[in-house]
Amino acid sequence: MSQDSNPKNSIDLAAARAKLAGEGGRRFWQSLEELSDTKEYRNFLENEFPANSEKDADGINRRDVLKLMAASAAMAGLSACTKLPTEKIVPYVRPPEQIIPGRPLFYATSTQQGGVATGVLVESHMGRPTKIEGNPEHPGSLGGTDVFTQASILHLYDPDRSQTVVFEGRVSTWSDFVAAMGNARIRLSPKGAGLRFLTRTVTSPTFGSQMRGLLAQFPEAKWHQYEPCSQDSAREGARLAFGRPVNTTYHFDQADVIVSLDADFLSRGPGHVRYAREFASRRDLSAGPASKLNRFYAAESMPTGTGASSDHRLPLRSTDIDDLARQLAAAVGVAVPPSANASAKIPAAWVSAVARDLAAHRGSSLVIAGEQQPAFVHALAHAINAALGNVGKTVVYTESIEANPVNQLESLRDLVNDLNAGRVEILVIIDGNPVYDAPADFNFADALQNAKLRVHSGLYKDETAELCHWHAPAAHFLESWSDARAFDGTVGIVQPLIAPLYDGHTAHEVLAAFSGDSGKSGHDLVRGYWQSQRPEKDKAFETLWETSLHDGLIAGTALPAIAVALHADFVSLGRQQTASGDASALEVVFRPDPSIGDGEYANNGWLQELPKPVTRITWDNAAMISPGTAQHLSLTTGDYVSLKLVDRSMHAGVFIVPGHADNCVTLHLGYGRSRAGNVGTGPGFNAYLLRNSASPSVAHGLQIEKTGEKYYFASTQQQYTIDVEGHPAEEESQAAFSRDLVRIATLDEFRKDPAFAKKTEEEETKDLTIYPGFKYEGYSWGMSIDLNRCIGCNACVVACQSENNIAVVGKDQVMRGRAMHWIRIDTYFRGNLENPEMYYEPLPCMQCENAPCEYVCPVGATTHSPEGLNDMTYNRCVGTRYCSNNCPYKVRRFNFFLYSDYKTPSLYGMRNPNVTVRSRGVMEKCTYCVQRINAARIRSEEENRTIRDGEIITACQSACPAEAIVFGNINDPNSRVSKLKAQTRDYSLLDDLNTRPRTTYLARVRNPNPEIRD
Amino acid sequence: MSQIFHRSTNLVSRVSIYGAVLIIGALGYALYAIAMSPWYTDQNVKRQQPVPFSHRHHAGELGIDCRYCHTSVEKSSFAGVPPTQTCMTCHSQIWTNASMLEPVRASYRDDTSIPWIRVNALPDFVYFDHSIHISKGIGCTTCHGQIAEMALTERAGTLYMSWCLNCHRQPEKFVRDKSEVFNPFYEPPSGAKQLELGRKLVKEYKIQSYQHCSTCHR
Amino acid sequence: MDSEGSHNIAGVTEPEPLIGPGHTFETVTDKISSIVLTRGTTPGWVFGFLIAFSLLMLLNLVVTLLMIKGVGIWGIRVPTAWGFAIVNFVWWIGIGHAGTLISAILLLLHQKWRTSINRFAEAMTIFAVMCAGMFPLLHMGRPWLFFYLMPYPNPMWMWPQFRSPLVWDVFAVSTYFTVSLLFWFVGLIPDLATLRDRAKNKAAKIIYGMLSMGWRGSAVHWSRYETASLLLAGLATPLVVSVHTVVSFDFTIGIIPGWHTTIFPPYFVAGAIYSGFAMVLTLAIPIRKYYHLEDLVTMRHLETMAKVMLATGLIVAYGYAIEAFMAIYSGDPYERYMLWNRIHGPYRGLYFMLIACNIVIPQSLWSRRVRRSIPLLFIVSLVVNTGMWLERFVIVVISLSRDFIPSSWAVYLPTKWDWATYLGTFGLFFTLFYLFIRFLPMISIVEVRSLVHETSEEKPHS
């Protein structure tokens, strides 16, 4: 955390600011003079529980924790000298087929983000889903996952989920709901005027057909769709370029040169998991010097995980991207007039170099525009790709995957107008929260009141549910029958792994309640639809259905590529669509939050506590600005400011981000929820308050005023500090590089010296030890992490949390340096603050062969296994924390309080039964998923064979969309991990300590364009 | 000057000095004895069950194979407790109206499980796997004792870590031929013979005596 | 004999008597025993005792809270997983060194001047070790499992992990405590007998009687007494060195820059004696004033202790110097950064304070005037106590707060509960000490008696 004061001058303002920025947990009134007084600051920190920690993570209230800890202390205390309580065994009465008690089963299903499906395999223990993995068969996943997918299991067991049907605040039942909907339906005019449906983006064919059927029944009913961070601009861009909303898919594995126009394609948007894998496959150096890398240029306003993985990053206000796009387009021969408001920030040399690079790779290059960009930029991207002959090669167009592609903003606008005009009798909101996330100028909350009957179906009793007459709890996707299309149109089947925990029902069932066939179950509806669609009949269909359920997708449903012609006059059409407002004024960009999206994941403790890429902030969003802008506005990290945009305003804490574009503020959406649940209600600032329909993603003329208050962020890693003159004093990163923690070379350097990452003394010191080393016969486990593949997406962090029952500790504890993640992603900056290179380094336990933690433990709670693991035995640990002190990598985590939630029954079901839930006062750490190792060993020994390479896949490895993490037996020279470790780029952290880590890294190799100096 | 203490005090003090040593020793032993006592470990303590199920009758006298009820013992960490259905396969035919079996019929009738009392319970931080022990030639009775003679089932071992390690450190003393694993009447050959057989089987079955912590604790 | 140097070289041959003139066996015995028997409970004592006791109750509160909530109430974190608890542990242990040193080593060296201060120095030792001993227990995440650190037959078939210094601590500290306690008690026996004989009321007679274990002062008793003291002295002497050496292993065995260094054992021991004597002075000066013991605890005692402090202080200074030198000379980047961080890092203020307290200010003791000025001496002793606490803070916290991987660097700040725990141990310490001076002879009557005729022998020479 950044309370470290600037080394050069003793206590200075900046130091004090920096201090406050990192530590503490609440605003309090203080003059800047006081800030530099460390005593004040200290007093504050000594204040035991900062105000906002009263409501702790995953709903653990402080007081409860206290009570609990009292209890647990007693229990644990006694456990040393009491007998085990008598347990009961409750067997089945009639055993279900295929379940072997104690053995997990895997089922294929699909999760959705923005309606787009990602295929997953879900691990189920005795009928309880416990872990989500990617589905290798599914085109949208290829086995990888992302943070949202990994964390969605927590939503299933979330105690805050809405559990009962509610009518006007009173508990009701589903049957009453159905009945009520039936009556309402009858009361409607025959044509169904005034019946309105509002959903999020829908790709489900079944839902689509249901809706079409319903609209056929009621011609005057309407279906609106709204998603706060939708694909509108992409949709409109396509319409602009081709005259109709086509779906664009990319082949990053085919692309040698990639240009991203503010696109965060590795962490968001349709197919991002697959794209991450394809992208990473082109950062692979296993062929040594011979291997070819792609070259990736990223222009973006806010540093994203995607931008950090680029070879050339151009920090550019979102507004100026338009200019860049036009220049690039012109350079590759698209006739387009220069931008009305040209940007001085775009180096001509840069553009020409990129253009040359693109031109040199006709058919194997790729230009992609981001969600925040206006339609015209998307159109330009299409034009450039067309001009470069990439279409059909790296860029493929298909029909839209949506059931009904509409401009969602306009769709919502219609609804609001109808509402205000009193034309809405019944409004059915299915899985959406417009009261919270609709553009502010719609005043949706007020408009909503004009609907005679308001019905809401969703996972939570959220802001919208509060204003509706009826609320019906939605079924979690792990409880649902449904279907959804992947980015390429492939239909994934959603099948339930567990009967609804509460009274949850799917969107299909809600619709059915209106279309009259309320009797039908979700299963009947989905299966029925496909039976009607497929040519196969009876038996044939039966088999198809079975295989589809097994594979999680219906084979061959990917949409075929289509040929589209670029409109000659899209430029003239596009003119009036360029960004509005005084472009020179301070720009504000609204982005979905990298951890909690547009707010739908707000009540997820895992995601809230997830350190965001680059900033490492947890539990908050912030007004993010560049160091330059900070200077200019004399702001600093931790200033609590009021933001004014036109007639609306909000408050937020300022956070300075190196590499952010100047004269631009990034606000992440999704925070400041008022009715999210115990976890999501409270943290952060609601950026929707500033967002208006005229400019939903980029606006100008933001005004910032200091309030004089301070706001404290919980960042898991100390960032650089800025001293008064604004010179960077980034001690951490400096040290990181002087200590060779991250080893980097350019492709050319690598080709000259493939062993650049090796240090000679590393080899020499190997056997300088007086103790005889361990003999590792049989297996010896090791891990290799390819820094060149890692995109810092955090999927491994959440996967680990899910697999290993890792507790959530809350903002206050994170600020106190007690986050529990077993694998963390260290981030370091190199170069100037304006546009630094960013480096990720995932850090699990290194499983040292000479482990400093082992010999200092007084009770032998952490010991060396014959296979080279540093075993951690929780029940033996007495918590002296000596091991943590002596761990040079600081990967050990300690339960300073009772962090594990012992009191919420619903969470019991979620826990991995093969991993002990740690109690208070116990050290814990990564074990290479030893439970998986043991399971594989037992299976192999029963089958009288050795464990196959790739049979054991650690949670982090399986989650990684970029395949950056590989685990295996390093005694087997042919194992994948051995081969990787044999690469010249292989190096270990702090090798001069001779700890001999089993986890080693493959050095990062950049592929910069020699023509560009930055 | 008057004496404060009577002469006897000398004796008292001497005795108390030496006595202290003894008392402390005795206390230590007592604690150990308690920790090892059936009262504390539940070893050889019969548990009352909702249905007085007799292993002696079923496994011993009738000779029903262990796996008939404990179906997953070869496949899974958990041996499996038979679902009511399994009971009813026979008891829908025989003893159909024995009052003793009413709970079973009730369970089957109203589809409610029988809440058996757990006899062999390990702490939650211990991960034992039945299947691997079975497949390495460790017999049921090695851990579960003379099950075929138990009218009401009881815990045969202390289930202490030392009890586990005792075998993990010297498997040759306990391993038996795979064909004998489910034999409830198996008599291990006497001392030397067992060792001889054990050593042979340990090689044959590739038995490693795992003793590192993560074998059982995760 | 009045030149500055000669005092330092030949402090032993100092003519100045060890006790004030005109003392006979009778007066000595009266003076000391009266404090316990006749003087009764004075308001001053009550006042002090109440303060101490309320602090003890504070400790009580914190420990309860700690047991209920967990060590999280302290400021400790990753990477600084050890904080105040360990700092205080080492500090108290260090203080606990003077007593045994004075009584054991000086006894073997026949340093007569120890006689009037050894009694409460030993008491101080025992109480300090008590305070110290609490911390290793309290700082554990699961203190109720402390017995895992003991080798005892158990159904887990597990031993402690003997490679860990923390296990060595258990033995070192407990042994040290036991021996010190025995030593102290054996020394007390004859005096207890004196009190028994002089006590007026029955209860006192009985209690002192039991404690004095039937001491009759016969020749046999005396010879056994002598043997016992000598044996215990012999036992205790190596312990004085071993305890703090072992404590220093807690750090030297670790690989943290600023911990992993061979200089620690000697300079920890020196530091321990340094702070020990400082504490003796801190206690002796007010006591002797309040109970008018100026002619038993004479200027010469104070001055000699001041000299010891000066000497050990210099050893400590040397330790610091070597630490810094090694950091630079080693060429090890982490060691170098450690030094740089101490001087420039967020805690630099504390580091410079440490240098001031432990090295700069004590140099004033070179001056005889300072050594002989009670108030100045008192202040210096306080300064040194503070300095030694800072030393431990610097070693434990600064080293940990920035070790190898920069991403984990962070600043440790104590919470109010850290402070409360620390203050609480003062409560324990002083409560015991107040009880001690009230109910036991704080100066060894027997040994001071032995001085009486020595001084009378010495008289003709001067």
- A818 vs C: CB within 8 A: yes
Nearest CA in chain B to C198: B1
Q: Which pLDDT value is given to residue A580?
A: 56
Q: What is the pLDDT tens value at each position of chain C, 462 positions in all? A: 334 434 444 444 445 667 777 777 778 788 888 887 777 788 889 999 999 999 999 999 999 999 988 999 999 998 999 999 999 999 999 998 888 888 788 878 777 777 778 888 889 999 999 999 999 999 999 999 999 999 988 888 999 999 999 999 999 999 999 999 998 999 899 999 999 888 888 888 889 988 988 888 899 999 999 899 889 988 888 888 899 999 999 999 999 999 999 999 998 999 999 999 999 999 999 988 888 888 888 888 888 889 999 999 999 999 999 999 999 998 888 998 899 889 988 888 999 999 999 999 999 999 999 998 999 999 999 999 999 999 999 999 999 998 898 888 888 999 999 999 999 999 999 999 999 988 998 888 888 887 776 655 444 443
User: Rounded to whole angstroms, how far apart are CA atoms C255 and A95?
Assistant: 56
Write out chain B residues lying below 8 Å of A875, CB-based: 123, 125, 217
Residue A476 near residue A505, CB atoms below 8 Å: no
Nearest CA in chain C to B161: C156
Q: How many CB pairs under 8 A join B and C?
A: 28
Residue where a domain terminates, one of A157, A183, A199: A157
CB contact under 8 A, A876 and C148: yes
User: Rounded to whole angstroms, how far apart are CA atoms A235 and A246?
Assistant: 7
Give domain status of residue A139, yes or no: yes
Question: Taking the mean position of all CA atoms in its chain, how far away is CA A951?
Answer: 27
Write out chain B residues lying below 8 Å of A933, CB-based: 214
Residue A494 and residue A369 share a domain: no
DSSP states of C147-200: GGGS----TT-----TTSHHHHHHHHHHHHHHHHHHHHHHHHHHHHHHHHHH--
Q: Which two tokens stand for residue B3?
A: 């004496």
Give domain status of residue A34, yes or no: no
Residue A679 and residue A626 share a domain: yes
Position A82 confidence tier, pLDDT thresholds 50, 70, 90: low
Q: Which pLDDT value is given to residue A762?
A: 57
CB contact under 8 A, B158 and C156: no
For chain C, list the contacting chains (3+ Cβ pairs, <8 Å): A, B
Nearest CA in chain C to A992: C332
Give domain status of residue A82, yes or no: no
User: Rounded to whole angstroms, how far apart are CA atoms A623 and A637?
Assistant: 9
Task: Measure CB to CB from residue C406 to each of A732, A893, A898 and give the nearest one.
Answer: A732
CATH number at residue A438: 3.40.50.740
In this predicted structure, the answer to whether residue A71 has a pLDDT above a threshold of 70 is no
User: Which SS3 state, helix, strand or coil, does residue A125 take?
Assistant: strand
- A922 vs C: CB within 8 A: yes
DSSP states of chain B: ---SS-THHHHHHHHHHHHHHHHHHHHHHHHHHHHHSHHHH-BT-B---SS---HIIIIIIS---HHHHSGGGGTSSS--PPPHHHHHHHHTTSSTT-GGGHHHHHHHHTT----EEPSS---TT----HHHHHHTT--HHHHH-SGGG-SS-BB-S---HHHHHHHHH-GGGT---GGGTT-TT--PPPHHHHHHHHHHHHHHTT-----SGGGT--
CB contact under 8 A, B160 and C206: no
Position A28 confidence tier, pLDDT thresholds 50, 70, 90: very low
Residue A489 and residue A449 share a domain: yes
Cβ burial, residue A971 (10 Å; 0-12/13-18/19+) = middle
User: Rounded to whole angstroms, how far apart are CA atoms C6 and A245?
Assistant: 102
Q: What are φ and ψ of residue A617, in 5° steps?
A: -75, 145
In this predicted structure, the answer to whether residue A193 has a pLDDT above a threshold of 90 is no
Q: Which two tokens stand for residue A70?
A: 């009292």
In eight-state DSSP terms, residue C274 is H
Give domain status of residue A939, yes or no: yes
User: Which SS3 state, helix, strand or coil, does residue C48 take?
Assistant: helix
Write out chain A residues lying below 8 Å of C68, CB-based: 66, 69-70, 73
Instruction: Determine if the peptide bond prior to A96 is cis (ω within 30°).
Output: no
Q: Domain containing A675: what range?
A: 585-715
| Nearest CA-CA partner of B50 in B113, B122, B134 | B113
CB contact under 8 A, C214 and B5: yes
Q: Which two tokens stand for residue A480?
A: 């649902």
In eight-state DSSP terms, residue A597 is B
User: Rounded to whole angstroms, how far apart are CA atoms C325 and C408?
Assistant: 27
CB contact under 8 A, A934 and B127: yes
Count of C-beta atoms within a 10 Å radius of residue A224 = 23
Residue A169 and residue A153 share a domain: no
Q: Which pLDDT value is given to residue A40?
A: 40
Candidates A78, A83, A84: best to mutate against B (most CBs of B within 10 A) is A84
- A852 vs C: CB within 8 A: yes
The single residue listed with the structure tokens 């253009």 is: A355
pLDDT digits (tens, 9 = 90+) for A94-137: 877 777 888 888 999 999 998 999 999 999 988 899 999 999 99
Candidates B2, B4, B15: best to mutate against C (most CBs of C within 10 A) is B4
Residue where a domain terminates, one of A530, A551, A572: A551
Write out chain A residues lying below 8 Å of B113, CB-based: 90-93
Q: Is the dihedral of CA A69, A75, A79, A81 positive or negative?
A: positive
Position A270 confidence tier, pLDDT thresholds 50, 70, 90: very high
In this predicted structure, the answer to whether residue A577 has a pLDDT above a threshold of 90 is no
Q: Which two tokens stand for residue C200?
A: 């007026």
Residue C216 near residue B10, CB atoms below 8 Å: no
User: Rounded to whole angstroms, how far apart are CA atoms B84 and A783?
Assistant: 47
User: Rounded to whole angstroms, how far apart are CA atoms C188 and C445?
Assistant: 9
Interhelix angle B84-91/B102-109, nearest 10 degrees? 120
Distance from CA of A665 to the nearest CA of C (A): 26
Residue A207 and residue A138 share a domain: no
Residue A277 and residue A128 share a domain: no
One-letter amino acid at C133 equals G
pLDDT digits (tens, 9 = 90+) for A899-926: 998 888 888 889 999 999 999 999 999 9
CB contact under 8 A, C156 and B160: yes
Q: How many helices (H) and strands (E) does chain C have?
A: 19, 0
Least trusted range by pLDDT, from A22-31, A173-182, C331-340? A22-31
CATH number at residue A344: 3.40.228.10
Residue A971 and residue A846 share a domain: yes
Q: Which pLDDT value is given to residue A999?
A: 95
Nearest CA in chain A to B40: A83
Question: Taking the mean position of all CA atoms in its chain, how far away is CA C73?
Answer: 28
- Residues with Cβ within 8 Å of C457's Cβ and at least 6 positions away in sequence, in order, are none
Q: Which two tokens stand for residue B144?
A: 């579960």
- C211 vs B: CB within 8 A: no
Residue B132 near residue B173, CB atoms below 8 Å: no
ipTM computed for the complex:
0.91
- B161 vs C: CB within 8 A: yes
The single residue listed with the structure tokens 């009262």 is: B39
| Nearest CA-CA partner of A702 in A636, A662, A640, A644 | A644
Task: Measure CB to CB from residue B124 to each of A89, A94, A916 and give the nearest one.
Answer: A916
Give domain status of residue A480, yes or no: yes
CB contact under 8 A, B4 and C205: yes
CB contact under 8 A, B161 and C209: no
Residue where a domain terminates, one of A651, A686, A715: A715
Q: Which pLDDT value is given to residue A188?
A: 81
Give domain status of residue A620, yes or no: yes
- A738 vs C: CB within 8 A: yes
Write out chain B residues lying below 8 Å of C158, CB-based: 161
- B4 vs C: CB within 8 A: yes
In eight-state DSSP terms, residue A140 is T
Distance from CA of B5 to the nearest CA of A (A): 43
Residue A476 and residue A447 share a domain: yes
Residue A530 and residue A409 share a domain: yes
In this predicted structure, the answer to whether residue A11 has a pLDDT above a threshold of 90 is no
Which pTM value belongs to this model?
Answer: 0.89
CB contact under 8 A, A101 and B206: no
Position A47 confidence tier, pLDDT thresholds 50, 70, 90: very low
Write out chain C residues lying below 8 Å of A888, CB-based: 255, 403-405
Write out chain A residues lying below 8 Å of C146, CB-based: 878
CATH number at residue A898: 3.30.70.20
Write out chain C residues lying below 8 Å of B158, CB-based: 155
Residue A461 and residue A341 share a domain: no
Write out chain B residues lying below 8 Å of A918, CB-based: none
Q: Which pLDDT value is given to residue C452?
A: 75
CATH number at residue A693: 2.40.40.20
Q: With a CB-CB cutoff of 8 Å, which residues 133-172 of chain C face chain B?
A: 153-158
The count of residues in chain C is: 462
CB contact under 8 A, C156 and B10: no
User: Rounded to whole angstroms, how far apart are CA atoms A400 and A398?
Assistant: 6
Residue A281 and residue A220 share a domain: no
More reliable by pLDDT, A936 or C109: A936
pLDDT digits (tens, 9 = 90+) for A946-957: 999 999 999 999
User: Rounded to whole angstroms, how far apart are CA atoms C451 and C24?
Assistant: 10
More reliable by pLDDT, A537 or A204: A204
Give domain status of residue A557, yes or no: no
Residue A804 and residue A926 share a domain: yes
One-letter amino acid at A418 equals D
Task: Name the domain count of chain A.
Answer: 5
pLDDT digits (tens, 9 = 90+) for A367-395: 999 988 989 999 999 999 999 999 999 99
In this predicted structure, the answer to whether residue A32 has a pLDDT above a threshold of 70 is no
User: Rounded to whole angstroms, how far apart are CA atoms B176 and B180?
Assistant: 7
In this predicted structure, the answer to whether residue A726 has a pLDDT above a threshold of 60 is no
In this predicted structure, the answer to whether residue A2 has a pLDDT above a threshold of 80 is no
Count of C-beta atoms within a 10 Å radius of residue A168 = 9
Give domain status of residue A570, yes or no: no
**Average of per-residue pLDDT values in chain A:** 85
- C197 vs B: CB within 8 A: yes
